[in-house]
Amino acid sequence: MSHPPRIDLHCHSSASDGLLSPRDLVLRARANGVDVLALTDHDEVAGLAEASQAARECAIVFVDGVEVSVTWGGITIHVVGLRIDPSHVGLNQGLGAVRASRIARARRIARALDGAGIAGSLEGALAYAANPNLISRTHFARFLVEKGCASDVRTVFQRYLVSGAPGHVPHRWAALADAVGWIRSSGGTAVIAHPGRYKLNGEQMRVLLGEFRDLGGEGIEVVTGNYSPQQAADFGRLALEFGLLASRGSDFHGPGESRVDLGKMPALAADLKPVWHDWECVAAHV
Ligand code: AMP
Ligand code: MN
Ligand code: MN
Ligand code: MN
């Protein structure tokens, strides 16, 4: 391989709220020229075996991942775990509890939507969940689009599912310490996902990164699907300031729903230390 490896360490399959099966996701990554792919489904590892098998067949380097939902300082933060052990008991117990809480939240979302005059949304959302153990707001969004509540998922989120909208309910996810602990105890590296998505000012972001690092967190996504050059520069500086490794991931959910396709992001700046700097699987591939 003459080019630097094309690496995408954040995406979703139908085991969570992605549109493609784990196998089809890997095939699409291959077609896009991705060399190293991590599947990071929300609070779920059920898609990893199929993705890993497909990756072996088409000679992609595959990385077992997960994206854990966390409540920190009253807001929702996502923590990506890379090179986890999908069979680790503690990790699975933790993720199982988060998935169970998703089902309880889904019932509350459905009640809230009932109150807004939209009936049958729990069954409707579950019909979009290929994995009935992992129900997400995205599944509700797809059902609401089907119902004609808005023309696309993004608009439906704004009108019905974000904080302050009629179908929004408060929810408490995992604690940051627990999420980092599950990832680390299963042998993985914890990475703050899409830091530009949180409504945190500079001071609050520094508190988060300091706490995260003190808990054993090691990385931060610098180049993400919602990439802007300004954000990449800002988070690159924070990675250096906090001694965090830099990651890169599209957060691809599916054709038509995601702006950025698998692997189609700019490279990390040269002064950053990539999260894969000491991964033999990447070194062997170069
Ligand atoms: P949940 O974890 O069930 O609350 O769902 C969060 C998921 O919803 C994210 O991972 C995105 O896939 C999707 N999402 C959140 N906000 C939006 C938005 N404004 N537009 C489109 N998708 C969104
Ligand atoms: Mn998602
Ligand atoms: Mn996320
Ligand atoms: Mn994601």
Q: pLDDT digits over 171-226, tens only? A: 999 999 999 999 999 999 999 999 999 999 999 999 999 999 999 999 999 999 98
- Whether 249 shows a pLDDT value over 90: the answer reads yes
What mean pLDDT is predicted for residues 246-250? 98
Per-residue model confidence (pLDDT) at position 53: 98
Answer yes or no: is the C-beta of 253 below 6 A from any ligand 1 atom.
Answer: yes
Answer yes or no: is the C-beta of 17 below 6 A from any ligand 1 atom.
Answer: yes
**Are 36 and 30 in contact, with CB atoms under 8 Å apart?**
no
**Are 273 and 33 in contact, with CB atoms under 8 Å apart?**
no
Answer yes or no: is the C-beta of 69 below 6 A from any ligand 1 atom.
Answer: yes
Per-residue model confidence (pLDDT) at position 283: 85
Per-residue model confidence (pLDDT) at position 226: 80
**Are 227 and 260 in contact, with CB atoms under 8 Å apart?**
yes
CA 265 to ligand 3 centroid distance, Å: 17
Across the chain, what does the average pLDDT equal?
96
- Whether 275 shows a pLDDT value over 50: the answer reads yes
225 residue type, one letter:
G
pTM of the model: 0.98
203 residue type, one letter:
E
pLDDT digits (tens, 9 = 90+) for 139-183: 999 999 999 999 999 999 999 999 999 999 999 999 999 999 999
Pocket probe for ligand 1: among 16, 136, 197, 199, the residue whose CB has the most ligand atoms within 8 Å is 136
Burial of 152 (0-12, 13-18, 19+ CB in 10 A): exposed
Token pair belonging to 38: 């991590």
- Whether 62 shows a pLDDT value over 50: the answer reads yes
- Whether 4 shows a pLDDT value over 80: the answer reads no
**Are 272 and 236 in contact, with CB atoms under 8 Å apart?**
yes
Answer yes or no: is the C-beta of 138 below 6 A from any ligand 1 atom.
Answer: yes
Query: What whole-number distance in Å separates Cα of residue 226 and Cα of residue 10?
Result: 12
Answer yes or no: is the C-beta of 154 below 6 A from any ligand 1 atom.
Answer: yes
Residue of the nearest CA to atom 3 in ligand 1?
136
